[in-house]
Amino acid sequence: MSKVLVTFAPVMKYHSEIRRRRSFAIISHPDAGKTTLTEKLLLFGGAIQTAGAVKSNKIKKHATSDFMEIERQRGISVATSVMTFEFQGILINLLDTPGHKDFAEDTYRTLTAVDSVILVIDSVNGVEEQTRRLMEVCRMRDTPVIVFINKMDRDGKGRFDLIEEVERELSIQLHPMTWPINSGKDFKGVYNLHDKNIRLFTANTKADDDDVLQLQDLTDPVLDQKLGDRDAAVLREDVELVDGVHGELNVDQYLAGKVAPVFFGSAVNNFGVKEMLDTFIRIAPTPRSRETTKRLVNVEEDKFSGFIFKIHANLDPKHRDRIAFLRVCSGKFERNKYFKHVRLQKDVRFSNPYSFLARSKDVIEEAYPGDVVGLFDTGNFKIGDTLTEGESFYFTGIPSFSPEIFKEVVNKDPMKTKQLEKGLLQLTDEGVAQLFTQFGGNKKIIGCVGELQFEVIQYRLLHEYGASVDFKAQPYYKACWITSESEQKLQDFTRFKSANIAEDKDGHLVYLAQSEWFLNTERTNNPDIEFHFTSEIHKAE
């Protein structure tokens, strides 16, 4: 008997720690109420005592998860925030992501570090462009999704219309878990289809309020007393229809990313949030096994492995710190233990690894699969880097993007050249933009996916590094990393096209094409040169 235990113990060594973890991201179109929902979840977890006001200038408290000054000024999230809290004995790692399309890269990468997603939809505006893009990424990975339809206390689209629109636009089957009683100024509450009870709507519900109306069934006359005859009759009709179509939730289909449970509520009033959180705790996936360039890494494996999905400079502007965010995939991460940095082929250790609640950091001794750990970084990390206990592989599926907008950096204060160079390197390491240097020259060009990123970079260079810059638009359409089996052919191409050649910050050659026509012409004329739209080709070197 003891032999059997010895044989299987290592495989299940951290089983109980893995079982109690849930890691998820909140995603949405800007202004759908994502950051507000994040705060309400933190309130339930006891992680914060009072919610901030994201956009009101009269109130000086700000959303817990929006910690960069420019975010507080503009009332938008531009960097993914990581927060850890406990609820009903479950350790939750919550990642709040930027909603703005110009920062979609950060959100896409964050989706590689979580096991499930909560998608927030504004009941007034319905499905918007960014929501579609985010759902495409979730579908590519079969990520389990829970939908929260927000702002039910505002006049918006009808409940059936919303369900139909979400299913049609996002190509996912919804399964209502709560059902709204009216909407807008007539919003009276939600009926919980799973627990068969009603929560009556009151503005500014507290986290510990329990204003739930227990019913034997929907024929209960208490329903008519509380809702009025007309609304009670409509609810009975709705629920009969919804139950007839959907029945009980198939949890396996949710875990496979085929069905999305849907909840209705008002995040700003903390209404309908607890029902969602209770269900999340019950059905959301625990950390999963992950593919690498060599093999599938089983989440129950004994040996530690993890990857860097985000880097953030100057989390604390007073200390000029740079934090790399690590997702633990297997084994146990331990403070002061040496791990292998696969790309650098060297051992590294961390004396002050952090867990986060937005801006506040706590030093941790250990972390398990599903956890997100902040590592103090002196410039060793890039997005996608892997740490292991000796094995060499990379976790796959971490996206990088070819920029769409290019601008030359114009230094307005030559006395601050050193600070500018340091700032450009650190900020572009975060993955919000790519830095190119003109081949054989000093001209610095930044490539981004969206215009707003330039504004953020300009602001942060000035306020965090003291470097004042302008940007000058460049006539480029695409950045292509170029490689060739023939060193001579690569040198010849670089020499002939020197005006369009740059190096990325790792010294890899990049061809900056002025248009699709130019790019296609060069590809046709140079069959020995390969043109790549991401720098992933150099990853395993």
DSSP 273: H
Q: Which two tokens stand for residue 80?
A: 């993914």
Task: Say whether 75 counts as a known binding-site residue.
Answer: no
Q: Which two tokens stand for residue 335?
A: 């403070």
Annotate 431-452 with b (16+ C-beta within 10 A) or e (fewer): bbbbbbbbbeeeebbbbbbbeb
Task: Say whether 29 counts as a known binding-site residue.
Answer: yes
What is the signed CA dihedral for 244, 246, 248, 251, rounded to 10 degrees? 170
Task: Say whether 246 counts as a known binding-site residue.
Answer: no
Task: Say whether 269 counts as a known binding-site residue.
Answer: no
Distance CA 439, CA 136 (A): 37
Tell the residue number behind the tokens 């696969």, with chain if given.
342
Residues in the chain: 541
User: What are the beta bridge partners of residue 149?
Assistant: 121, 264
Task: Say whether 100 counts as a known binding-site residue.
Answer: yes
Task: Say whether 502 counts as a known binding-site residue.
Answer: no
Task: Say whether 371 counts as a known binding-site residue.
Answer: no
Angle value at C-alpha 109, between 105 and 112, nearest 5 degrees? 155
Task: Say whether 508 counts as a known binding-site residue.
Answer: no
Task: Say whether 30 counts as a known binding-site residue.
Answer: yes
Distance CA 471, CA 448 (A): 12
Distance CA 430, CA 427 (A): 5
Task: Say whether 224 counts as a known binding-site residue.
Answer: no
Annotate 178-213 with b (16+ C-beta within 10 A) or e (fewer): bbbbbbeeebbbbbbbebeebbebeeebebeeeeeb
Task: Say whether 99 counts as a known binding-site residue.
Answer: yes
Task: Say whether 35 counts as a known binding-site residue.
Answer: yes
Residue of 307, 292, 303 lying closest to 332 (CA atoms): 303
Task: Say whether 238 counts as a known binding-site residue.
Answer: no
Task: Say whether 28 counts as a known binding-site residue.
Answer: yes
* Pair 122, 151: CB distance under 8 Å: yes
The H or E element containing residue 5 is helix 2-8
Task: Say whether 126 counts as a known binding-site residue.
Answer: no
* Pair 221, 209: CB distance under 8 Å: no
Surface-to-core class of residue 468, CB atoms within 10 Å of its CB (0-12 exposed, 13-18 middle, 19+ buried) = middle
Q: Which two tokens stand for residue 222?
A: 């208490």
Phi (first) and psi of residue 469, to 5 degrees: -135, 160
Terminal-to-terminal C-alpha distance of the chain: 47
DSSP 539: T
Task: Say whether 494 counts as a known binding-site residue.
Answer: no
- CA 190 and chain centroid, separation: 29
Task: Say whether 369 counts as a known binding-site residue.
Answer: no
Provide, for the chain, the percentages of residues in helix, strand and coil under a 3-state DSSP scheme, each rounded to the nearest 5. 30, 30, 40
Annotated binding site: 28-35, 96-100, 150-153
Annotated binding site for GTP: 28-35, 96-100, 150-153
